[in-house]
C-alpha cells in the first residue's frame, strides 16, 4: 500500500469509537463526504479484534472514497499486519508512550504515514528532531473531553498559535472539537481538526463532515 504523503488532507480527520458495524458505517459515510483521514481507535479491543476492525474500516473507506487515508491509533504492529494483508491502511498515529517514531518508521516503511501526539510547546519542540520521520502532529486537548484524559490543560483556539509557530509540520487539533470551533482553529494555523463524538454520535455524520470542511476552507 502506497501512502499519499504529498496529498495528505488533514482538514477533517475522523477518529472512530466503538467496534460495532456502525463504526464501520460511520467511517465510510465520513469518507464519502470528504473526510481526508479516518483513524481507527479502539483502545479496549484485543489485538485480534482491532485488526479485524481495521480491515473492515479500511475496506469500507476504500470503497467509499479511495483518496481517504486510513490510520491505526497507537498500534504500529496492527497497521503493519493490515498492510501486509493488502488492506488500504496507510500508517499509524502514535502517542508519546507508544512505539518510538523511528522504530515505527522502520517497521512500516518509508511510504507509510506517521503522526505523533503532542499538546504543549515543549512536546512540539521535542518532536523537532523527528520531523523527517513524521507527517503531522496531533495536538490537544482543544477543550477537556470525556473520551480521553491526556493530563494536559486545554489549549483553546489561541493556544494553537504557539504550537503551529514551533514546527514546520502540520498540526491537527483534537479534543471535543465541534464544527462551530473550526473557523477559529483554522485562523490559529492548524491544518485540520480531529473529531470523535461530533461525527460518531451524529445523526448525520456526512453532514458534520461537510460543515467542518466548509469551516476550514480550501486546502
Measured CA angle at 99 (ends 42, 35), to 5 deg: 45
- Binding-site annotation, residues for Mg(2+): 74, 98
> If you ran DSSP here, which 8-state letter would residue 66 be given?
T
Whether residue 129 is predicted with pLDDT greater than 90 in this model: the reply is yes
DSSP-assigned states of every residue in 154-197? P-HHHHHHHHHHT-SS-EEEESS--GGGHHHHHHTT-SEEEESH
Q: What is the pTM of this model?
A: 0.94
Q: What is the pLDDT of residues 163-183, one digit of tens each?
A: 999 999 999 999 999 999 999
CA proximity to 189, closest of 156, 155, 160, 159: 160
Residues above pLDDT 70, as percent of the chain? 95
Give the per-residue pLDDT at 191. 97
Predicted confidence band at 147 (pLDDT cuts at 50, 70, 90)?
A: low
Strand-pairing partners, residue 137, are 116, 171
Give the per-residue pLDDT at 48. 98
Predicted confidence band at 148 (pLDDT cuts at 50, 70, 90)?
A: low
The alpha carbon of 190 is separated from its chain's Cα centroid by a whole number of angstroms, namely 13
Is-contact 91 71, C-beta < 8 A? Answer: yes
Which segment of 32-46, 66-80, 103-117, 145-159 scores lowest on mean pLDDT?
145-159
The CATH class of 5-216 is alpha beta
Cis omega (within 30 of 0) on the bond before 75?
no
Predicted confidence band at 2 (pLDDT cuts at 50, 70, 90)?
A: very low
- Binding-site annotation, residues: 39-43, 73-74, 98, 117, 145-148
Q: Which residue ranges make up each domain of the chain?
A: 5-216
Distant-in-sequence, close-in-space partners of 90: CB < 8 Å, separation ≥ 6:
1, 3, 4, 69, 70, 71, 112, 113
Measured CA angle at 162 (ends 178, 144), to 5 deg: 35
Give the per-residue pLDDT at 68. 97
Helix axes 76-84, 47-64, angle to 10 degrees: 60
Distances (CA, A) of 6 to 67, 113, 165, 171: 12, 10, 21, 15
Amino acid at each position: 500500500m502506497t501512502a499519499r504523503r504529498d496529498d495528505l488532507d488533514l482538514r477533517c480527520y475522523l477518529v472512530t469509537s466503538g467496534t460495532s458495524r456502525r463504526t464501520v458505517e460511520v467511517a465510510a459515510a465520513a469518507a464519502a463526504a470528504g473526510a481526508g483521514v479516518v483513524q481507527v481507535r479502539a483502545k479496549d479491543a484485543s489485538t485480534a479484534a482491532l485488526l479485524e476492525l481495521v480491515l473492515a474500516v479500511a475496506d469500507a473507506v476504500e470503497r467509499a472514497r479511495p483518496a481517504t487515508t486510513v490510520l491505526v491509533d497507537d498500534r504500529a504492529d496492527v497497521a503493519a499486519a493490515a498492510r501486509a494483508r493488502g488492506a488500504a491502511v496507510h500508517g499509524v498515529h502514535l502517542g508519546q508512550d507508544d512505539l518510538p517514531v523511528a522504530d515505527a518508521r522502520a517497521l512500516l516503511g518509508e511510504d507509510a504515514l506517521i503522526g505523533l501526539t503532542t499538546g504543549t510547546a515543549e512536546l512540539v519542540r521535542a518532536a523537532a528532531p523527528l520531523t523527517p520521520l513524521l507527517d503531522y502532529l496531533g495536538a490537544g486537548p482543544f477543550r477537556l473531553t470525556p473520551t480521553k484524559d491526556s493530563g494536559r490543560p486545554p489549549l483553546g483556539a489561541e493556544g494553537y498559535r504557539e504550537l503551529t509557530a514551533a514546527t514546520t509540520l502540520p498540526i491537527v487539533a483534537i479534543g471535543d472539537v465541534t464544527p462551530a470551533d473550526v473557523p477559529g482553529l483554522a485562523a490559529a494555523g492548524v491544518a485540520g481538526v480531529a473529531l470523535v463524538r461530533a461525527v460518531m454520535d451524529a445523526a448525520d455524520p456526512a453532514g458534520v463532515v461537510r460543515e467542518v470542511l466548509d469551516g476550514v476552507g480550501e486546502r
